[in-house]
Structure 1
Amino acid sequence: MIQNSFIPFGFQYYRSPTPFRDQWEKDLSNIAGQGFNCVKYWVQWRASVSKEGIYQFDDIQELMDIAQQNGLKVILNVIFDVAPAWFYKKHPDSKMITADGSVLEPRAINCRQIGGAPGPCYHHAAAATEKAKFLVETVKTFKDHPALWVWDLWNEPELTTGIKRKLSFDNQVCYCEHSVLAFQEWLKNKYITLVALNESWQRTYGSWEEVEAPRGQGVFNDLVDWRLFMSGTLTVELRSRVDTVKSLDLLHPVMAHTVPAPIFNMITAGSDDFKLAEPCDLTGNSLGSSAWSADLLISAAKGKPIINSEIHALPGNTAMKPRQPELREMKRHILPPLARGITGYLFWQYRPEVLGQEAPAWGSVYLDGSPTPWYKDMAQLNKLVQDNKQELLQAKRRGDGIAILFSPQNQIANFAAHDHLDTYNDSLQGVHKLLHDLNYKVEFLHESDVTEKTLDQYRCLWMPNPLYLNRKLCNLLRKWVEKGGILISECSFGALQAENGCHSYTVPGYGFDEVFGVRETWIHSAENLDHSYHQVAFESRTAIPLLNVMKHSKEGDAAADDKAHGSYYKSDIALQSHVKVLAEFAEDNMPVLTAAAYGNGRAVWFGTLLAAAYWQDGHTGTLQLVRDLLQQELKLQPNVQVSGGVRADLSEWEVEEDRGAFLYVHNEGNTLAEAKVTLPANYTSAEPWFDDGNAKIQPINPFEPSTTQLSIRVEAGDVQVFRLS
């Protein structure tokens, strides 16, 4: 039993040594008295084991007892990245080493005020032993406490706790002898023979001991392996923690909560949300309030329960004081993720921070513990959630059959090529934004999860900037398209080959020139084009003018701008006769968007990074181009259709014999929206959650009882929720 009828809604409360002991009883009583039901405590290695072999949990024990007295459930967040001072003194070789040779000495940072960050190298044997001892003692102490709800075994997994998070080759870890030896063993398991490794990396190693950990911008396959190894190290570490807990406690579920890409990347952070969700019973997120992070987390969870573990509503520090949030902002932290099926909310944090550089920010109450207006807004939102919890826990959204490929390997290869991740991240987030703005349910498919079975769940797969591919994946994609799938790809498909790290002689690679019906004859970097296009940020982000030659879909504006934007690259292509041209480069009428039949499916080609351009400038013509492509050309309509500039999500439920739905309507713009929402079911009433919104239901067509249309008025920046029946 993980959630059953429980939706956690509360606060991160304790990170030793604050809040101080004299505040605990009053605070926890107030939290419960306002209707909240959950708190989170940190159990920190350095705080609980300040002397070797002596485990002290008096503070946590007292806090657990107070929570139980007040009917609060507790998430125990076990923190390992603050190693005790005695451990470093005893094991100086446990410190991580960066690519430039810097040793990460233990330190206090703004979010680890007791010191000891970033913790020891993950490949240090003695560190693994001591961390396991700490976890065992923690679990033995609290596994039978009636207030315990969940073990949270990693707070924002990454390699250096933010100390070397900034993206650069020099900030990679770890280059100590323990990690290099572990990497060599990992390569043995992957390649089996040294000959196979040399063929992949294009090297001449004579023994496994000669293999070096990559450091800079050289070739591709060595860096891909190196960063996949370090990312896998985090997954192995988490799985070990999960196994330790489950060997002692089978009653309470385990989780970790992440920070999604692109904030945490595969190069310096090593965090892969999909892999980290696998060993857990439920999963969480520190930045789940945005549509991007919520959709990514839901895809990574694969049906497991999800909570927003740290809602960052009042960020700030000693120099930059937090802004006071209004109700609409608090609604945006809760309702968009709730619309997607996230059913758990903890704000970071209850009291404002008083220790360190984060003070006096992050508080849901004032410094003296008295209630703030936003604390009262939180209580109102919690009451609405709890009053509808049975239905919310049953509610599901229908899929639209469209997925975005999420590829850690491609991310790493992009960094190796560019020394930045803008091309990959802009493209990935841009595809999400395009689909989100067109009201599709956005799903991500991790490259390692691509099989015939998973592909068959989707009608369409969009591949953002697919520079680095492999033959196995491409063979699966070809068969899927032949059977009827719709593949959408941006330029440079398979330009780099994972088998040997070399550039493909023909692009699209792996024979996909036959699938797309196009072949790149040249690809121009935007900064090399002889035109003064609009500079968005720096030279390679030049907005390249495109011309939409399709007829506009009925959902679009008949007077919409036919101009759209590409970015980064312009492809010259040779075109097969059966290929349909849907858009052209404005400067020379070279085809930029094409569609071709292949078997029973379709293959769509963009000769530029169109999604990256939309991420950068949100051009309405680019959105219109994709609307026309998906809805007019490919006949991929979203289940919930909207007009009037809003986002609408329908979550349907059935509890016993009662059926209904929740409709969430989000006006993400800065002006009042008068919107129409068309639903794929028949509803006759709409009860609003909030007094400041209204909806009028009207049938579209009396001969189409399976559809309903609502007229809804939503203020700028607001989210409205309606209970439909």
Structure 2
Amino acid sequence: MSNPEKRIKKIFPFGTHIYREPSRPLEEIIRDMRIMKKLGFNTVKIQESWCINERREGEINLEKIEILIEEAEKLDLYVYFGVTMEQAPAWLWRKYPDCRLVYSTGEKHEDPTQYLLPADGKPGPCWDHPGAREAGKRFIAEVARRLGRYDNILVWNIWQEIGFWPMRQIPGSLGFCYCPHTLASFREWLKEKYGDLDTLNRVWRTGFGDWEEVEPPRTFPMVPSYIDWRYFMDDVYLSRVLQWKAEAFKLNDPKHRPVFCHVASPSIGSGAEWRWAAQADVFGSSCYPAWRPFHEWDYGSPNAGESAPRELSILYEVEWISMIYDYVRCAIAPPRECWAAELQGGPISTSLHLGRVPEPEDIRRWVLTALSAGIQGLSFWNHRSEIFWSEAYGFGLLDSIGDSSLRAEEAGRIGERINCYADLFCKRNVSQPEIAVLINEDLWHFSQASGNNAASHLSFTIRGIYRMLWENGLWTDFVEINEASLNDLSRYRVLILPFPLALDENVFKTLCEYVSSGGVLISEACPGRYDKYGFARPGELISEAKEVFSAEHLSLQLCHEPTRPPKWTPIERSYGEIRPPTYLSGTGRFSEHGVLASLYVEKYRVHGAEPILLCDGDVAGLTNKFGMGRAFLIGTFIGHAYAAFRDKRTESFLLSLLKSVGVMQRKIGELTCRERIGENGKAVFLFNMSPKTVVEKIDVSHFSNVEDLLGEKIELSSGRVTIKVNPFEVKCLILEK
């Protein structure tokens, strides 16, 4: 084995997945590892499968994996190693027939196949079953002991793409898990949360006489118990699974390597990622930019028979990458790291639907965008095109045959250049934004239960707000309000409260304190219309909102969209339900602006607030000085207007509002600019998401050395660098003191 010093050498992990079952022949993989090393990669990902490696209980065979790890060590390659515990062996199901996950209808999830497709064996066994959990712990412990002797293992991945998916589509089912073990665990958690049954009955408005009678909803989600049940399954159950897997590695790895887990993609609007990230040393997300960058409601989203517009596709790919890794990075508390756990390497392939082959400029754009959002490691999926059925011929940096490709060469080149500045890019050092979008897990679960696409509306308005800000160089963090202290919130000049229909009093009191102490709050319509458990409030706003906004609710009405067919508007049940397409007109200091109303128009009766938007002569937007800060209330959902219609008046209104409270765009001429700050310099990312070439001059007089990250020639004169950025290109300058 190599010198232990190698294990702690400072690198930016830059790798690619090379092995999972069913796999290519071992000799081909070994040959491909040599190719990847030659191309410039420093890490390979190896994924084991529990059902393959422990076919009979207690007989663990890791021979193939050990051969690959040893070959990687000879090549001076690090290993990013993942276990696939949800792909459980057949003997486990036979030994513990009651370890199957149970749907709310009482049916057991039954899937005896042993393939990694479609979802790495998910949902797997119920890990509340003590026998299944102990068997899983024993397997991980043995893997850690046996493979832990290798110095080149960099990190252990305990769960790749966390979640319960895929579920069977059972009519009326509310998902997992209703087995006796999980229900007992849920009751214990409720006892800890509420203390006694009387308190639970008061909050839920139920009449249980014994703890054993308490159950989550089974057919109808719009009840208070659903909020606690979904939090328990998404945030508590899944976090506990991550916790015991992590502990099994940490207790048995002799070299105590970090533990890693990642999501397929963050659920925008959900706060579960904050709880999951807390269970590992490294947290990340997969990202396949060309796998449908359009939401179905997005402006320009193609219909069947239409071609996807190229320029919008590129823009949305870049914005999606940036939002994914901003979201994940914000869920991670220091000193934990953020990785691009899987990044698309080749064409998307879903059975007979084969995507376009990425060009070198795609790879460059994707990697640099992820890097700008703060990633500290990256692994492509996959090194060579897939061999198995539904993903066959897809995802590879290399095609099914051949020793190279233009995209693989470009990826390797980028990886080598990033590692010239490993000290800079291995650190959490994205420049601090002035704006944060608030995330609320209880609101997410309320929206999931509410129907009428409520969860999609929550995600979509966040997407639109982020898009407006991103395209104007206004970088944005995400803050889970239930995890944040007043001190945490005070790091931001502005907080944006999206789709805030259900709010807890304690959450809003924290926001009031933030405003009172000098912060700026921008709320979309209907703040606290419901409490967190779905009960209506007198006056149709949370009581504290009346004080901080100095206004009361007047009326609320759905509104039609400006285009046909509609994207989200329901069919009117009778006349007068839905108002025509509506612009809210600016007034006072915002008289030159307007906002396209989306989904709802809420009007207000003001008491001391300053009107800023009007509808039919009534106030539909306002601002109020509260304590040392300021609160804005906008009577619609502004993210929809931009994401769905790219409404420029709405964009201009938001930019003007932010400018009025001192938040300025980060741009250099026509280029948006983002930075990662190091001890002795910084990386400056320059985005040109327009169809024309942009040339700008940048003052670098305070720096002793200026380089293009990818080694391109730059023009430097009199302390200014002239930079040319081609259409839809991302560049990165390294400025050293």
Q: Structure 2 matches for 1:335-374, cutoff 5 A?
A: 335-374=368-407
> What secondary structure sits across from 1:665 in the alignment?
strand
1:575 aligned to 2:575? Answer: no
**Counterpart in 2 of 1:637?**
664
| 1:442-463 CA distance string (max 9 Å, x none) | 1111122121221222222111
**Counterpart in 1 of 2:654?**
626
| Residues in 2 aligned to 1:5 and 1:662: alpha-carbon distance in whole angstroms | 18
Shift of 1:239: 0.9
> What secondary structure sits across from 2:88 in the alignment?
coil
**Counterpart in 2 of 1:90?**
95
1:36 aligned to 2:67? Answer: no
| Residues in 2 aligned to 1:169 and 1:515: alpha-carbon distance in whole angstroms | 41
Please tell me the residue identity of whatever aligns with 1:79.
T
**Counterpart in 2 of 1:546?**
584
Q: 2:204 aligns with which of 201, 204, 207?
A: 201
| 1:303-339 CA distance string (max 9 Å, x none) | 3222211102322133122311112210122101212
Percent of pairs identical after alignment?
A: 23
**Counterpart in 2 of 1:227?**
230
**Counterpart in 1 of 2:241?**
237
Alignment check: 8 A CA contact 1:107 1:115 kept: no
Alignment check: 8 A CA contact 1:75 1:149 kept: yes
| Residues in 2 aligned to 1:218 and 1:390: alpha-carbon distance in whole angstroms | 49
Q: 1:309 aligns with which of 319, 341, 350?
A: 341
**Counterpart in 2 of 1:503?**
536
Q: Structure 2 matches for 1:407-556, cutoff 5 A?
A: 407-420=440-453, 421-498=455-532, 501-527=534-560, 536-539=566-569, 544-549=582-587
**Counterpart in 2 of 1:45?**
50
Alignment check: 8 A CA contact 2:350 2:391 kept: yes
What's the TM-score, normalizing by structure 1? 0.88
1:247 aligned to 2:251? Answer: yes
**Greater mean alpha carbon deviation, residues 209-218 or residues 107-116:** 107-116
| Residues in 2 aligned to 1:722 and 1:550: alpha-carbon distance in whole angstroms | 42
Q: 1:566 aligns with which of 594, 597, 602?
A: 597
Shift of 1:674: 2.6
| Residues in 1 aligned to 2:366 and 2:469: alpha-carbon distance in whole angstroms | 21
Shift of 1:580: 2.1
Please tell me the residue identity of whatever aligns with 1:292.
M
Please tell me the residue identity of whatever aligns with 2:343.
I
- Aligned-residue RMSD, C-alpha: 2.9
**Counterpart in 2 of 1:298?**
329
Q: Structure 2 matches for 1:140-219, cutoff 5 A?
A: 140-160=145-165, 162-164=166-168, 170=173, 172-219=175-222
Shift of 1:224: 0.8
Alignment check: 8 A CA contact 2:548 2:626 kept: yes
Shift of 1:90: 2.1
| Residues in 2 aligned to 1:723 and 1:169: alpha-carbon distance in whole angstroms | 56
Structure 2: runs of 5 or more not aligned: 290-320, 571-577
**Counterpart in 2 of 1:702?**
none
**Greater mean alpha carbon deviation, residues 224-233 or residues 374-383:** 374-383
| Residues in 2 aligned to 1:276 and 1:436: alpha-carbon distance in whole angstroms | 26
> What secondary structure sits across from 1:511 in the alignment?
helix
Alignment check: 8 A CA contact 1:551 1:628 kept: no
| 1:266-285 CA distance string (max 9 Å, x none) | 6xxxx821111112112221
1:616–1:122 Cα change, 3 Å: farther
Alignment check: 8 A CA contact 1:39 1:72 kept: yes
| Residues in 2 aligned to 1:461 and 1:130: alpha-carbon distance in whole angstroms | 46
**Counterpart in 1 of 2:262?**
257
| Residues in 2 aligned to 1:680 and 1:214: alpha-carbon distance in whole angstroms | 61
Please tell me the residue identity of whatever aligns with 2:675.
L
Q: 2:59 aligns with which of 54, 63, 85?
A: 54
Please tell me the residue identity of whatever aligns with 1:650.
E
Q: Structure 2 matches for 1:373-388, cutoff 5 A?
A: 373-388=406-421
| Residues in 1 aligned to 2:564 and 2:590: alpha-carbon distance in whole angstroms | 25
Alignment check: 8 A CA contact 2:161 2:286 kept: yes
1:99–1:545 Cα change, 3 Å: farther
> What secondary structure sits across from 1:342 in the alignment?
coil
> What secondary structure sits across from 1:341 in the alignment?
coil
> What secondary structure sits across from 1:547 in the alignment?
strand
**Counterpart in 2 of 1:283?**
283
Alignment check: 8 A CA contact 1:641 1:677 kept: no
> What secondary structure sits across from 1:353 in the alignment?
coil
Shift of 1:643: 4.4
1:618–1:3 Cα change, 3 Å: farther
| Residues in 2 aligned to 1:613 and 1:427: alpha-carbon distance in whole angstroms | 8
Structure 1: runs of 5 or more not aligned: 554-560, 700-707
Number of residue pairs matched?
Answer: 687
Please tell me the residue identity of whatever aligns with 1:648.
C
Shift of 1:135: 0.6
| Residues in 2 aligned to 1:379 and 1:173: alpha-carbon distance in whole angstroms | 42
Alignment check: 8 A CA contact 2:694 2:727 kept: no
Alignment check: 8 A CA contact 2:598 2:638 kept: yes
Shift of 1:522: 1.5
Shift of 1:228: 0.3
